[in-house]
Amino acid sequence: MKELSIYVHIPFCERKCNYCAFVSYCTGEKEKDDYIDELCKEIEKRKCDGVVRTIYIGGGTPSILTPQQIEKVVKAIYDTFDVYDNAEFTIEANPSSLTEELLTTWKRLRVNRLSIGVQSLKDKSLQKIGRLHTKVEALEKIKMARKCFDNVSADLIVGLENETGKELCRYASQLLDLGVKHISCYLLEVYENTKLFCDVKEKKYVPLTDDQTITAFNKLANYLQDKGLMRYEISNFAYPDYESQHNLTYWERAEYLGFGISAHSFDGKNRTANADNFEDYKAGKISKEKLNATEELEEIIMLGLRCKLGVETAKLQKLGYDIKQNSYYADYVKQGVIQEKGDRIYLNPVFYHLSNTVIANLLP
Ligand SMILES: C[S@@+](CC[C@H](N)C(=O)[O-])C[C@H]1O[C@@H](n2cnc3c(N)ncnc32)[C@H](O)[C@@H]1O
Ligand code: SF4
């Protein structure tokens, strides 16, 4: 029986953060109810064979849905699909909307992993990027979440104004002291059409330079690894057995179904994307993306080398590419940048910060 992963997109937020380009809107309860109804219809309509091994409800901000709204979505999933008893089930939460009532409801609904957006633990920073919570609130909510859930992850952003590596390590230390098992460290991206983009242009906000960001990131990465977390993907660190199984699905190019506005699905060969606005979504509009052989090769190399899964060289060969004949390959192996184990190759995590260059050089 084939295995599947499920992603559900909740495109709502209490307030848009200045840096965020995710598909998410601020809206009223009626719109949320209408969306949940459409979401459940979509889930039921796309019933298929297979057993679900991971579920991920992300956004946007799933924690602004009421317990009843979330319950409806989860019921639709479990009524439609076979789900392993031990399936990893993650929900994303924002500290500003996380409540005890939500936590107990999620627990009852079989959620077993939380991913909480922390970003920073400095009030001035949080305020400047448009977050609604303070440092104290973020820490309190994590403490509260940990009482209900063992597997809690936190997101940090690296590159924010005046945030040094030393400070980031202090944030990480506070999170680990509260029992956080997984930390995602994202490099700040300044997207056009965000408030942050204007603030940067007008010099109201000065993010770290690229060099400063890399220095800060490396300091944080070393700190987390010293604390016993594994860097199992470029941006993700976890204690052993706490890697996100759902993320691994994406990186190993396994099948997943994406439900909701702007959600993507992958059947092992082709990708489809749902419309990114409610009207088109409701009308069932989807766009298809068919990868040609070169694009498929590139994707396998990029995804595999960026995480602990590595790349199966025979798979590349089947698609007509002998990576070992690449002019950079032998040198990378000699320098220890690329490691060979059995029929797989890996990017040595020590060189993750050079991944863009290494991967670009190794592409066909
Ligand atoms: C869907 S949000 C997480 C849950 C919740 N919406 C929140 O923000 O608390 C996913 C994560 O993406 C990261 N992110 C979003 N926009 C980013 C950007 N422009 N640069 C770096 N990281 C970003 C943040 O760390 C954020 O927590
Ligand atoms: S970072 Fe999270 S809360 Fe902020 S706008 Fe993006 S999805 Fe919403």
The residue to mutate among 16, 190, 194, having the most atoms of ligand 2 within 8 angstroms of its beta carbon, is 16
Q: Which atom of ligand 2 is nearest to the CA of 92?
A: 2
Cα–Cα nearest to 233, from 254, 250, 216, 213: 250
Tell me, rounded to whole angstroms, the distance of Cα 130 from its chain centroid. Answer: 20
Q: Which atom of ligand 1 is nearest to the CA of 17?
A: 8
- Residues of the chain short of pLDDT 50, as ranges, are none
Cβ burial, residue 269 (10 Å; 0-12/13-18/19+): exposed
In the block, tokens 């995602």 appear at: 184
Cα–Cα nearest to 221, from 207, 232, 210, 206: 232
Range 3-250 classified under CATH 3.30.1330.10:
no
Residue type, 198: C
Contacts of 168 by beta carbon, 8 Å cutoff, 6+ apart: 156, 158, 185, 216, 219, 220, 223
Asked whether the beta carbons of 113 and 244 are under 8 A apart, the reply is yes
Query: Ligand 1 centroid to 183 CA: how many Å?
Result: 13
pLDDT in tens, 165-213: 999 999 999 999 999 999 999 999 999 999 999 999 999 999 999 999 9
CB atoms within 10 A of CB 225: 14
> What is the Cα–Cα distance from 249 to 243, expressed in whole angstroms?
11
Query: Ligand 2 centroid to 154 CA: how many Å?
Result: 14
Which protein residue's CA is at the shortest distance from atom 14 of ligand 1?
20
Asked whether the beta carbons of 259 and 39 are under 8 A apart, the reply is yes
Domain ranges within the chain, ordered by starting residue: 3-250, 309-364
> What is the Cα–Cα distance from 259 to 349, expressed in whole angstroms?
33
pLDDT in tens, 235-289: 999 999 999 999 999 999 999 999 999 999 999 888 999 999 999 999 999 999 8
